[in-house]
Amino acid sequence: MLTAIPEKVEKNEVRQAESIEMSRQTMQSLAHPRERAMQVQEKLEETQEQLRQLQGDEKETQDQLKHLEAEQKETREQILGIKAVLEHQSPQPSHAEVVRIPLTTNF
């Protein structure tokens, strides 16, 4: 009977060690989803910040586009004005009136 006691103690220690290991693994598995959730939350916050920056960039780009379109319209109006002035000053020759100068070669 005395020899059975050390065996029971040893089995008890093995069970206790197994129990401690299972508890440790359980705690790790519980910690892992928390860590993953925190990582996902951080990534979400980063993505939201990037989205805000992109929306700001888009707004700025749209403002620049409107400004460029206004400049383009103004430039077209100036070109049409200049063209009208030039047409009144000297009429443009028609295609039939264009003088062709033959190229001559001296050999």
- List the chain residues with pLDDT less than 50: 1
The whole-number pLDDT of residue 51 equals: 94
The whole-number pLDDT of residue 24 equals: 82
Instruction: Kindly list the distances between the CA atom of residue 47 and the CA atoms of 19, 37, 43, 50, 79, in Å, as whole numbers in the listed order.
Output: 42, 15, 6, 5, 47
The whole-number pLDDT of residue 49 equals: 95
Query: pTM (2 decimals)?
Result: 0.44
The whole-number pLDDT of residue 87 equals: 82
